[in-house]
Amino acid sequence: PLIGVLTTSLLPHTHDGFVHLARIGAYFKALEDGQIPVRWAGDLNYGYGLPLFNFIYQVPYFISSIFIFLGLGLVNAFKVTLVLSFLLSGIFMFGFSLSFFKDLKKALLVTLFYQFMPFRFIEILVRGSFGEVYTYAFFPLVLWGITLLFQKINYKNILITSLGAALLVLSHNALSLVFFAIAILFILFFTNKPKNYIAPFMSLFLGLLLASFYWVPAIFEHHYT
């Protein structure tokens, strides 16, 4: 459904596209200047700079910076990053559904509904919501990891859940809070053994720790803005 985005050299007409192009450029330049993690967007705010990336999501800008490093321009990096979010969301939702239902047909049906819900295309093709589209990719990854932990507790499944949770937090501020709450409810509703709570909750907490370089400064420095 997104092939039309890639068959033209033009930027899709979205609400936020132009804003994100400027931010992608600022993020990539900050990486070139050695900022790790990126916090300061030096060329924005009419050249005065501002601590934009201290408070705004990082994942989509980091991914788009990789594509710029590989030789794509701002427009193509923006488009490929959007399309990649759609592909990842389908892969992770299928993996979660297959692990949860243990039925190939049900997993395919759930994934089709998830991928082709009209709101998803509004987010990508109308709003151009750079961060929110990645929460729809990493939320099913978190649920997939939790489901795997229900079945078997090992380092691999803990790592999947923790990385998914960290990437979710780094994808969008507000939506990650909503999806974190849903993930907690998912744990409480779909396991009837209290001992099965430990590994999923520990993995979510580890995910928060992995993303703490982003959300801890944002909380403590918010009063400066």
Judge contact between 44 and 157, C-beta under 8 A. no
Mean pLDDT of the chain: 91
Q: How confident is the model at residue 159, as a pLDDT?
A: 95
- Residue 112 pLDDT class (50, 70, 90 cuts): very high
Q: Is residue 144 within 8 Å of 190, Cβ to Cβ?
A: no
Residue 116's pLDDT is: 95
Q: Is the pLDDT of residue 135 over 90?
A: yes
Sequence-separated (6 or more) residues with CB below 8 Å from residue 72 = 80
Report the Cα–Cα distance between both ends of the chain, in Å, rounded.
40
pLDDT, tens digit, 9 for 90 and up, residues 173-212: 888 889 999 999 999 998 877 778 899 999 999 999 999 9
Q: How far is CA 156 from the centre of its chain?
A: 20
pLDDT at residue 129, rounded to an integer: 86
Using the predicted structure, report yes or no on whether residue 166 has a pLDDT greater than 90.
yes
Give residue 128's pLDDT band: very low, low, confident or very high (50, 70, 90).
Answer: confident
At residue 225, the pLDDT reads 76
Q: How far apart are CA 197 and CA 188, in angstroms?
A: 7
Task: Tally DSSP H helices, then E strands, for the chain.
Answer: 11, 0
* Residues 178, 191: Cα–Cα separation, whole Å: 21
Quote the CA–CA distance of 142 and 155 in Å, as a whole number.
15
Beta strands in 127-221 (DSSP E): none
Give alpha helix (H) positions in 70-154: 74-101, 104-115, 118-121, 132-151
Contact 60, 131 (CB under 8 A): yes
The model's pTM is 0.91
Using CA atoms, how far residue 46 sits from 43, 73, 225, in Å, is 7, 22, 17
| pLDDT above 90: percentage of residues in the chain | 66
pLDDT in tens, 8-62: 888 888 888 889 999 999 999 999 999 999 999 988 999 899 999 988 889 999 9
Position 94 scores a pLDDT of 97
| Banded pLDDT at 224 (limits 50, 70, 90) | confident
Cβ atoms of 126 and 14 within 8 Å: the answer is yes
Rounded mean pLDDT, 72-79:
92
Cα torsion 82, 175, 164, 184 to 10°: value is -150
Percentage above 70 pLDDT, the chain: 100
| Lowest model confidence (mean pLDDT) among 64-68, 143-147, 188-192 | 188-192
Q: Does pLDDT of 5 surpass 90?
A: no
- Say which amino acid occupies 190: F
CA atoms within 13 A on the CB side of 191: 23
